Chains A and B, each alone.
Chain A
Amino acid sequence: MLLGTETAAEADPEELRLALHGAQVGAWTLDLRTGEMRTAGTYGSLLCGPGTPDDFTFGTFAHFLRAVHPDDRAEVASSPFAVLAQGGSFSQEVRIRWPNGEVRWLASHGQVLVGEDGRPAKVTGVLQDVTERRRADQERAALLAAERAARASAEKSNRRLAQLQRVTEAGLAHLGVDDLLVELQGRVEEALRVDAVVVWLTGDDDRLAVKAAVGIDRSTVPELAEEESRSLTRRLSDGRRPRVLQDVEADDRPLARLRPRGVRSHAVVPLVVEGRIIGVLQIGSRVVRRFDRDELALLQLVADRMALAIDRARTYEHHHAIAETLQRSLLPDRLPQLPDAELAGQYLPGAGATVGGDWYDVITLPDGEVALVMGDVVGRGVRAASVMGQLRSACRIYAGQGQGPASVVKCLNEFAHDLGSGEMATLVYLALDPSTGRGRLVGAGHPPPLVRSPDGCTAYVDAEAQLPLGAVRRVTYVEHPVQLDPGAMVVLYTDGLVERRDASLDDGLARLASAVASAPDDPAGCCDFVLRALLGGNPAGDDVALLALQRIETRAEPLSLRLTASSETLRSLRRSLRTWLRAAGADSDEVYDLTLAANEAAANAVEHAYGPVEAQYEVDATLVDGVVEIEVRDFGRWRPARDSDRGRGLPLMEGSTDQLTIDRGEAGTVVRMRRRLADASAPPRRTPGDEP
């Protein structure tokens, strides 16, 4: 650093004076040898306030120091000497206190002047008032600090926002109220780092009761009386606006009533829906803790969100319940009893949240026929269920007027159009005379019915594909003839049963056909079996309806069968016998046992049959005064019973019947089995009563 020389200050005094005044600068020179201080410019007014004469001379450095703010005095006192030690210039800002008490900031810049002897002789410097600049700097610093604080606060808000989003995300929308509360509570617990989260809901009696508790045993939460609940609710509503209240170690006595055991500090906020308090959200801490404003604000936000979600979930559950009730109410609660046919129907709601539009119906027609209806309204929810209801009613009316199947479906199609909602539906309508087995079928965009013949073979009705209801206004539907033999079963269903995301429709239809082929030989058992086989006990994604009708032979008429003595006929024998036994009023155990016994006798006949011509055997069954008698006859020459093989057949026959006689003669063997039915007084038919 260059040191100035004493001569550097020797400028024109007047010029210097003007320059100093113009710049509002005070100048000074301290003579290091004498301690004398000379000043110029606005030095006086800078140091002692406006109005101080310019030629006011402080005389010494000590005088100058007196004007300096006491806090800065020590530093200022040392500065010229520090500079001397360093032998250079200095620059500092010092606070000056004017006689009137006002504090000003002065910037002081100084420089050491070297004498002719080469040693420091004087220090000279200038003073400037920088109060305004300092103020501006301070303001800027304050602004900067404020901005920093604001940013920090914004970041905090963002974190809060993120936490809030966690409690408001759309994924929660499909949870039921109970699941939703537990989920939200868990998130609140995490966001606010509290130990317990309790949701209280207001019941019909205004009493607040715990609906869900997380992080704490419910039994530790006190019970509130009605009056306590009302008084708390009043406090929380505070006239109009909801209030957050907190209680730290029972410093709020009334609120402390709400405190679960083990919790030392807690806060509550009302859950408000449309200005009404529906409950209270409570957070609790096991350690003493005062929740800060931010935390309470977040709690308030969470509560608002939770209230909305509860309200929405309640509405949703309400709607879902309406739709499902509507749908259930539109399904027949009892199927009609028919003299020549047995019926069973099943409806399973889908696993999804909304209900579907599947329906089935059985309508007894004026001419002794019966109409089986299976329909599926496209779409889901209350709307589909309601359209379904209207179609079902309309169908009953058209069918009841004695119109044929094609005409009924044509009218339904126009009706669907007139609903004006653009809703489409698929439908199968089968009018059938159970006494003759003759039927007429109309399919409208619906998968075809499946028929199982008495021998157990299954085939889909190969009916014409036709347009669904509501697609085109004027459609002429055609009827397809169907013949159902005695013992045969027809199965109607909706696509939920055969459609799977991971397999083609053809696969689904093949699975259904195979399931029906091996299903039990009665409609109810068949429906159960098929649902289990195709859905594996899990609810399908879509809803599923299933309807089965089996034609039965005239009840309790003696059964008389003549069958080829081969093992393939046993299955057919069992089917015929089961159908007959059910018609005779046997319960399911009796049907099974008597079928088993007759099967054993017939198996004997089959195994013993031999000879050049095709052997045959006969089975007769009669019901007399509540006793079933089954007789199995073969015509083979008598052979010694191969007891080692058939040894187990006998105990089965004996165990399954009340009375067993076996006559072996030259003409063949006759096995007679009798069993009294448990409920011989019951109507000779099982009632199809277990349908939904």
Chain B
Amino acid sequence: MTTATAATTSLSSRGGFTVAAVDGEIDISNSVDLGTELSHAVPNDARGLVLDLSGVTFIDSSGIRTLFDLAARLANHQQLLRLVLPDESQLRRTLLMLQIPAVMAVFPDLGAATS
């Protein structure tokens, strides 16, 4: 039996960025842990973090808050936070409602985000 985990993260590196691909749902049960995990995953010499949300099927306001916090933390180290979000993702409306694109760059695919 596999228990439903809300979200899983896999890490890699590409184009000088740390790439984190998150799958599943992000809500108040896991958003804080996710933020901690991600901020520790980025070494100081990386250009920043590319967060691939292609596999995320739900994100709530706490998840959005995590993104803002993460962007602020990375900015302190002169590092960037970039998001990957396919055009057809349902998350797009949520991100727009909360002005995410004003704070961090959103790319339709990983290739564009890491170039």
Pick 5 A–B contacts, CB within 8 A, sort by A. Answer: A458-B1, A518-B25, A588-B90, A655-B93, A656-B97
- A-contacting 9-mer, from B4-12, B77-85, B104-112: B4-12
| A456 at the B interface (CB under 8 A) | yes
| A652 at the B interface (CB under 8 A) | yes
Question: What residues of chain B lie closer than 8 Å to A574, measured between beta carbons?
Answer: 25, 58
Residues facing A in B1-39 (CB within 8 A) are 1-8, 23-25, 27-29
Q: Which 6 A-B pairs have the closest CB atoms?
A: A456-B4, A567-B29, A648-B61, A513-B2, A649-B61, A655-B97
| B75 at the A interface (CB under 8 A) | no
| A459 at the B interface (CB under 8 A) | yes
Question: What residues of chain A lie closer than 8 Å to B98, measured between beta carbons?
Answer: 648, 651-652
Assembly CA distance A520 to B4 (angstroms): 12
Assembly CA distance A589 to B89 (angstroms): 10
Assembly CA distance A606 to B62 (angstroms): 13
Q: Tell me whether B65 and A645 are in contact (CB under 8 A).
A: yes
| A596 at the B interface (CB under 8 A) | yes
Question: What residues of chain B lie closer than 8 Å to A649, measured between beta carbons?
Answer: 60-61
Residues facing A in B26-77 (CB within 8 A) are 27-29, 55, 57-58, 60-62, 64-65
Please give the residue numbers on chain A whose beta carbons come within 8 Å of chain B beta carbons, in ascending order: 455-459, 510, 513-514, 517-520, 529, 533, 567-568, 570-571, 574, 588-589, 592-593, 595-596, 599-600, 603, 606-607, 645-646, 648-649, 651-652, 655-656
Interface Cβ pair total, 8 Å cutoff: 88
Q: Tell me whether B27 and A567 are in contact (CB under 8 A).
A: yes
Q: Tell me whether B24 and A599 are in contact (CB under 8 A).
A: no
Q: Tell me whether B27 and A571 are in contact (CB under 8 A).
A: yes
Q: Name A596's contact: one of B7, B29, B60 (CB within 8 Å).
A: B60
Q: Tell me whether B1 and A459 are in contact (CB under 8 A).
A: yes
Question: What residues of chain B lie closer than 8 Å to A599, measured between beta carbons?
Answer: 27, 58, 60
Q: Tell me whether A517 and B61 are in contact (CB under 8 A).
A: no
The SS class assigned to the A binding surface is helix
Q: Tell me whether A517 and B27 are in contact (CB under 8 A).
A: no
Q: Tell me whether A517 and B97 are in contact (CB under 8 A).
A: no
Question: What residues of chain B lie closer than 8 Å to A458, measured between beta carbons?
Answer: 1-2, 4
Q: Tell me whether B8 and A518 are in contact (CB under 8 A).
A: yes
Query: How many residues of B are in contact with the other chain, CB < 8 A?
Result: 27
Q: Tell me whether B58 and A596 are in contact (CB under 8 A).
A: yes
Q: Tell me whether A568 and B23 are in contact (CB under 8 A).
A: no
Chain B nearest CB from A591 CB (Å) reads 9
Question: What residues of chain B lie closer than 8 Å to A595, measured between beta carbons?
Answer: 58
Chain A nearest CB from B98 CB (Å) reads 6
Q: Name A517's contact: one of B3, B29, B55, B60 (CB within 8 Å).
A: B3
The residue of chain A having its C-beta at the shortest distance from the C-beta of B29 within the complex is A567
Q: Tell me whether A517 and B62 are in contact (CB under 8 A).
A: no
Q: Assuming A649-B61, A652-B97, is B8 touching A592 (CB within 8 A)?
A: no
Assembly CA distance A596 to B90 (angstroms): 11
Most chain B beta-carbon neighbours within 10 Å: one of A588, A646, A649:
A649
Assembly CA distance A571 to B6 (angstroms): 8
Q: Name B4's contact: one of A518, A589, A593, A648 (CB within 8 Å).
A: A518
Q: Tell me whether A648 and B65 are in contact (CB under 8 A).
A: yes
Q: Besides A568-B29, A649-B61, 4 other CB < 8 A contacts?
A: A457-B4, A518-B4, A599-B60, A651-B97
Chain B nearest CB from A127 CB (Å) reads 96
Question: What residues of chain A lie closer than 8 Å to B60, measured between beta carbons?
Answer: 596, 599-600, 603, 649, 652
The residue of chain B having its C-beta at the shortest distance from the C-beta of A592 within the complex is B90
The residue of chain B having its C-beta at the shortest distance from the C-beta of A606 within the complex is B28
Question: What residues of chain A lie closer than 8 Å to B93, measured between beta carbons?
Answer: 589, 592-593, 655
Chain B nearest CB from A641 CB (Å) reads 13
Question: What residues of chain A lie closer than 8 Å to B3, measured between beta carbons?
Answer: 456-457, 517
The residue of chain B having its C-beta at the shortest distance from the C-beta of A455 within the complex is B4
Assembly CA distance A593 to B94 (angstroms): 9
Q: Name B57's contact: one of A520, A570, A606, A655 (CB within 8 Å).
A: A520
